[in-house]
Amino acid sequence: MKIGKSELETVAVKPGQYPPEDMYEIAFAGRSNVGKSSLLNLLTGRKSLARVSGNPGKTRTINFYRIDDAWRIVDLPGYGYAKVSKSVSAGWGEMMEKYLSSRPNLLKVVQLVDIRHAPSKQDVEMYDYLRHYGLQGIVVATKADKISRNQMQKQIKLIRDTLKLSREDVVIPVSSLKRTGQDVLLDEIGKLLEE
Ligand code: GTP
Ligand code: MG
């Protein structure tokens, strides 16, 4: 699958602000700074559709991007950012939980993890949560340019084991910097949208 047109449709912090439930949505979840917004830019082929930053906590709202007037990519705020206060981080959690648990047109959540590290406790919790709602199945291992080809299989196995992935779950190494892996991910998403 290829993406033609993409645009920011809605920015929301609560359900009343979500766009209509008229199109399937694929959301990106993962810790702050893992590369969710960069992945959106990579998939859409637009350098600065979503704002990217080296400072964690860049995306603080639920951002709905309309793709080819047919489906949406939803860029979620990251979790696990230590520098925000407990109350702010609880607010984000609630905002995400509301979206993930109550959105009928949410088709799948792509879980992002950094290819260099074992998934964190929060990554594991997030994936368990997705499993609970039947939204699991696609894991993107970001920043693939940061490790060697040799290390790749070892890191993917570490991710599979830590998140307790099943055979059906896919792990896709992606580099937004080198622009690799996006075709595999887009084909997986394409399959879901066709079903
Ligand atoms: P929050 O909005 O805070 O949740 O972060 P995010 O997950 O949206 O991360 P973002 O896309 O803003 O990227 C965070 C940092 O990682 C930026 O400095 C990016 O340039 C960098 N980055 C993202 N993807 C890659 C990648 O594939 N390779 C490398 N080397 N750096 C990347
Ligand atoms: Mg972001």
Give the ligand whose atoms come closest to the C-alpha of residue 52.
Answer: 1
Measure 58 CA to ligand 2 centroid, in angstroms: 5
What's the domain range around 155? 6-194
CA angle 35, 121, 58 (to 5 degrees): 30
Residues paired with 11 in a beta bridge? 63
In a domain, 77, yes or no: yes
Give the ligand whose atoms come closest to the C-alpha of residue 30.
Answer: 1
Give the ligand whose atoms come closest to the C-alpha of residue 96.
Answer: 1
Measure 181 CA to ligand 1 centroid, in angstroms: 15
Measure 78 CA to ligand 1 centroid, in angstroms: 11
Q: 47 versus 56: which is more confidently predicted?
A: 47
The preferred substitution site among 33, 42, 65 for testing ligand 1, maximizing ligand atoms within 8 Å of CB, is 33
> How distant, in Å, are the alpha carbons of 30, 85, 113, 137, 171 from that of 168?
20, 38, 18, 7, 10
User: Which stretches of the chain are DSSP H helices?
Assistant: 36-44, 86-102, 121-132, 149-162, 182-194
Average pLDDT over residues 30-42: 94
Q: 80 versus 138: which is more confidently predicted?
A: 138
Q: Residue 96 corresponds to which tokens in the numbers above?
A: 């995400």
- Confidence band for 133, pLDDT divided at 50, 70 and 90: very high
Average pLDDT over residues 88-112: 88
Calpha distance 41→7 (Å, rounded): 11
In a domain, 50, yes or no: yes
> Quick one: which of 109, 82, 83 has its CA closest to 97?
109
In a domain, 1, yes or no: no
Tell me the CATH number at 165: 3.40.50.300
- Confidence band for 5, pLDDT divided at 50, 70 and 90: very high
Measure 65 CA to ligand 2 centroid, in angstroms: 13
Average pLDDT over residues 166-187: 98
Using a CB cutoff of 5 Å, list residues around ligand 2, an ion: 36-37, 58-59
In a domain, 45, yes or no: yes
How many domains, the chain?
1
- Average model confidence (pLDDT) across the chain: 93
Q: 90 versus 185: which is more confidently predicted?
A: 185
Ligand 1 binding pocket (C-beta < 6 A) is 30, 32-38, 52-54, 56-59, 77-78, 142-143, 145-146, 175-177
Q: Give me the phi and psi of 155, to 5 degrees please.
A: -70, -40
58 pLDDT higher than 90: no
- Confidence band for 57, pLDDT divided at 50, 70 and 90: confident
Q: Note the pLDDT of residue 174.
A: 98
- Confidence band for 86, pLDDT divided at 50, 70 and 90: low
Q: Note the pLDDT of residue 1.
A: 92
- Confidence band for 95, pLDDT divided at 50, 70 and 90: confident
